[in-house]
Structure 1
Amino acid sequence: MKELLVSVIDNDFSSQAVYDLSGNHILIYENDDTAWVEKSPLQGIRSHGTICASILAEAMSRHIHLIGYSCSGRDGKVALEKVCMALQDNIKKITRLSLHEHRQ
């Protein structure tokens, strides 16, 4: 079965809270101003992004990989430039996934 990658972009997420709410895992990236790096799980933060990702994770089938991009600016609000960077990074991930599946 073909695997799909679903991305959620918001200002903040807690991978632990997504798991606690939905029983599913989410890999979360944040930008350190040079690259997207895996974000360590935050305990218990139930932000807008966490709730939305949990709903999506609970509703999706098991062959879908859920990733999140935490796009907070210095003020804690969503930073437009980081959203654009997240979209570009997501396109790269989708392209790599497609090329990998095509080779198999």
Structure 2
Amino acid sequence: MALYGINNSINGFRNDMNGLKKVIYSIKNSINGINNAIVKATYGIKNSIYGLNNVIYGLNNAIYGLSNAIYGFNGIRNAINSYISLKKHPLHVFTNTLKIIIKYM
């Protein structure tokens, strides 16, 4: 009878150890899942930052484009003014043209 009781105790201990193993595996899997979630969240945040950077670069490029357009319109205006000046005062055209060239160099 005593041996039967000892055997049952050993089997019970084995079952407890198997249960403990399952708990440890479950905790390990939970930790891996949390780590994966953190890694994915980090990549998501990083990609969001890259996306925002691209938006900022795009806005910068748009501002440069507008600035270049303004320079272009100023160039057209200067050309028209030079043409008008040429009709009125042919002598001043050369000096006005030099002033414009020096201004934009």
Q: TM-score, normalised by structure 1?
A: 0.25
Larger gyration radius, structure 1 or structure 2: 2
Structure number with the higher strand fraction is 1
Whose RCO is larger (CA < 8 A, sep 6+)? 1
Structure number with the higher helix fraction is 2
